[in-house]
Amino acid sequence: MTTNRPGLFARFTGLLRGVFAGWLRDREERSPRAVYENAIQQRVAQYRELKDAVAGILYMRNKLEAEIADGREELARTLEDLRRAVRNDQDDLAVSLIERKNQLVSEIEHSERELEALRSEAGDAKSNLVRFREEIRSLEREKGRVLASLANARARRRIQETLAGLSVEADVRALEGVREHAARVAAEGMLEGEIGAALDTAGRLRTLREEARTEAAHRELEELKRQSRTLTIPAREPEPARA
Give the CATH number, domain containing residue 70: 1.10.287
Answer yes or no: do 208 and 127 share one domain: no
N-terminal to C-terminal alpha carbon distance within the chain: 181
Query: pLDDT at position 13, please?
Result: 58
Distance (Å, whole) CA 235 – CA 86: 203
For residues 37, 40, 41 and 45, what is the CA-based torsion angle, rounded to 10 degrees?
180
Judged on CB neighbours under 10 Å (0-12, 13-18, 19+), 167 is middle
Answer yes or no: do 162 and 175 share one domain: no
Answer yes or no: do 112 and 55 share one domain: yes
Distance (Å, whole) CA 125 – CA 91: 50
Residues 104 and 71: beta-carbon distance below 8 Å: yes
Answer yes or no: do 46 and 146 share one domain: yes
Query: pLDDT at position 127, please?
Result: 84
Which of 167, 195, 223 delimits the end of a domain?
167
Distance (Å, whole) CA 46 – CA 38: 12
CA atoms within 13 A on the CB side of 187: 6
Number of folded domains in the chain? 2
Answer yes or no: do 43 and 112 share one domain: yes
Which of 167, 185, 204 delimits the end of a domain?
167
How large is the greatest C-alpha to C-alpha distance in the chain, in angstroms? 230
Query: pLDDT at position 10, please?
Result: 58
Give domain status of residue 7, yes or no: no
Give domain status of residue 236, yes or no: no
Query: pLDDT at position 24, please?
Result: 43
Give domain status of residue 3, yes or no: no
Answer yes or no: do 87 and 151 share one domain: yes
Answer yes or no: do 127 and 70 share one domain: yes
The whole-number mean pLDDT for each consecutive block of 10 residues of the chain, a chain of 243 residues, reads: 53 52 48 79 84 86 91 92 89 88 91 89 84 84 81 75 60 69 72 66 75 80 76 56 51
User: What sign for the dihedral angle of Cα 117, 118, 122, 125?
Assistant: positive
Answer yes or no: do 49 and 97 share one domain: yes
Give domain status of residue 12, yes or no: no
Question: What is the per-residue DSSP string for 32-50?
Answer: HHHHHHHHHHHHHHHHHHH
Judged on CB neighbours under 10 Å (0-12, 13-18, 19+), 146 is middle
Answer yes or no: do 53 and 90 share one domain: yes
Query: pLDDT at position 118, please?
Result: 86
Residues 127 and 12: beta-carbon distance below 8 Å: no
Residues 135 and 43: beta-carbon distance below 8 Å: yes
Give domain status of residue 196, yes or no: yes
Query: pLDDT at position 37, please?
Result: 83
Domain membership of residue 210 as a residue range: 169-231
Give domain status of residue 128, yes or no: yes
Which of 167, 186, 218 delimits the end of a domain?
167
Answer yes or no: do 32 and 151 share one domain: yes
Query: pLDDT at position 164, please?
Result: 66
Query: pLDDT at position 109, please?
Result: 92
Distance (Å, whole) CA 43 – CA 135: 8
Answer yes or no: do 144 and 31 share one domain: yes
Give domain status of residue 243, yes or no: no
Strand ranges for the chain from DSSP E: none
Query: pLDDT at position 133, please?
Result: 84
Answer yes or no: do 60 and 141 share one domain: yes
Give domain status of residue 215, yes or no: yes
- Which residues neighbour 172 within 8 Å (Cβ) at sequence distance 6 or greater? 165
